[in-house]
Amino acid sequence: MLERTTRQKLTVRLCGPRGFCAGVDRAIQIVVLALKKYGAPVYVRHEIVHNRYVVEGLQERGAVFIEELDEIPDDHRERPVVFSAHGVPKSVPADAQARNLFYLDATCPLVSKVHKQAMRHQRLGRHVLLIGHAGHPEVIGTMGQLPDGAVSLVETVEDAARFDPPAGAELGYVSQTTLSVEDTAEIIRALESRFPDIQAPAAESICYATTNRQDAVKAAAPGSDLFLVVGAPNSSNSRRLVEVAERAGARRALLVQRASEIPWEDLGPLSVLGLSAGASAPEIIVDEIIDAFAERYQVEVELAVTAEELENFPVMRALRDVELTKADMAFVNGAG
């Protein structure tokens, strides 16, 4: 008891919302339910979500992750193959059909909405500008909804200034769902300044979960000595949360995948710790990190809640006859 009371006090500002969004939750549920219904193996094209812990947990349950459909053995063509939450180009389901594969599309409905907005722009005769990060699976998927040359990628304000539209073309834009709200607004202002007639999407492209998590970090970051974001290095929305924390006043902000990545010897004096998790990071890792600090500090958790999320995206009909239990998802959500 004496040891505990002599530990330095640490306030942990725990952001809410944090962690899994409805689209990520749905994608993981699809793989879990497919394994329950059809047995192993279930193939998954690319990481179902950008989180190594989640991927490894699904591998332990019988999921096999592949990069391309031709990796599925001929004698496994009847096995399910799941497309990731980030979305895929139109060529991927077409390839699956040509190979007579049974596929389940776990694309987030909000990403699918961006696909439809981009296709609507193109159908109305507009050249499409996609605000996003080159090489990100979501960007590849969105660009792959349109014919070659119908969409141009804009990553920065400088790109917006340099963009040379096709002669006489009307313009419309959409954005990747996981971008920084502030950075995207700056790019949109630059585009609208150059092209006053450019058409916005019929609905906001950046998803509610991205906005909500960034708002919570903005509220929790001021005055924090350290801000930790749980997430993977290839997770766009998680990396944006680190940037948001730094801009909002955190003395230092770091992206970590597990408690083992925290540079304990290099933290310096701490009295306030901000803590959030990207939309593909499981709650069980948040618990792990709080426990790791509780072993070293006298921790008091303070909630920084800026919104309540009630969204729920149901899985496809083919899997709705399978019961999903808390135990099925405990590997990511914890026992609670």
| Catalytic residue positions, numbered | 138
φ, ψ of residue 116 to 5 degrees: the values are: -65, -35
Residue with tokens 């009295």: 271
For residue 312, give the amino acid letter: N
Total Cβ atoms within 10 A of residue 59: 13
Q: How far is CA 267 from CA 15, 104, 111, 262, in A?
A: 20, 44, 38, 9
User: How far apart are alpha carbons 270 and 276 in whole angstroms?
Assistant: 17
CA 283 to chain centre: 14
CB contact at 8 A, 29 and 58: no
∠ CA 307-309-314, rounded to 5°: 170
Beta carbons within 8 Å of 274's beta carbon, 6+ residues apart: 13, 15, 217, 220, 221, 224, 226, 227, 228, 245, 250, 253, 304
User: How far apart are alpha carbons 110 and 27 in whole angstroms?
Assistant: 12
